[in-house]
Amino acid sequence: MDPLRQKLSTIAHGDHPIAAPLDESTVRHLLDLALPRGDERVLDLGCGEAAWLVRAAAERPGVRADGVDVNERALDRGRDHLASAGVDDRVTLHLEDATGYSASHQYDVVLCVGATHAFGGLLPTLEVARKHLAPGGTLIVGDGFWEKAPSPETLQVGFAEDEFMSLPNTVDQLALDQWIPVHGHISTLAEWDAYEWAWTGTLTRWALDHPGDPDSAEALRTAAQHRDEWLRGYRGTLGFLTTLLRQASRPEPQHTLFRH
């Protein structure tokens, strides 16, 4: 993303730090389910402003975490949030491409919410996440699906028909890859609307409040275009599913009893 896009995206997320159509109570519930002990090691691939990690660590003093993102501005903001929450000594943010991230240990929980495009889609994301996940660990993955078949208007705003699948086919695909959904959240229309209004509204207010900023006109144009694409193109058509996934542990080796 070029520096101007990074700047506008960071401003747009000011009132809705979770960069996905999920409200605060949903995020807290998903974290409660994925981090039952409170001392988990967590990795967030495409962490943005580290909104998930701030919430994971602030309420669980034993949690240690890493977040990876290519958006420097979002990470700077994330570091501020972590410092304000007093958890910056336990959460490290890495400015690098998540596809190449490697660590010397595995994680109990791996997150990838709204960032599967970085890996080329859902299945390649699962493949990378699997390498980072310790045995018995939980993956939280959030991705789009088609609530209904995309209309010509949806495709016109830049989506490809094969970019997503229906909800049941999306879940089937997870299972084909040996993942077992242990919980899921389908974003409500109210969560989508809150997210999109926050994104477009925050950016618009910033542009109106900073008429002298050289990027003000572009911010206003970007917000108006985004709102139009959402309302005409994908509202009610694009869904968002966040699933908690685990893998079955390998069975213990069976000791064969030989009879003589």
Ligand X SMILES: C[S@@+](CC[C@H](N)C(=O)[O-])C[C@H]1O[C@@H](n2cnc3c(N)ncnc32)[C@H](O)[C@@H]1O
Residue 76 in the binding site for ligand X (CB under 6 A): no
CB of 157 closer than 8 Å to CB of 235: no
Binding to ligand X (CB under 6 A) within 91-130 occurs at 97-99, 113-115, 118
Question: Which residue's CB comes closest to ligand X?
Answer: 48
Q: Which stretch binds ligand X (CB under 6 A): 63-71, 133-141, 156-164, 203-211?
A: 63-71
What's the first-to-final CA gap in the chain, in angstroms?
A: 70
In this complex, which beta carbon is closest to ligand X, that of residue 78 or of residue 150?
A: 78
- 46 Rama class: left (phi>0) / alpha (psi -120 to 50) / beta: left
Which of 8, 43, 46, 55 binds ligand X (CB under 6 A)? It is 46
Q: Which stretch binds ligand X (CB under 6 A): 62-70, 162-170, 194-202, 203-211?
A: 62-70
Which of 8, 12, 19, 133 binds ligand X (CB under 6 A)? It is 19
CB of residue 16 to ligand X, shortest distance in Å: 9
CB of residue 20 to ligand X, shortest distance in Å: 4
Minimal CA–CA distance to 43: which of 99, 112, 90, 89? 112
Q: Total number of residues binding ligand X (CB under 6 A)?
A: 20
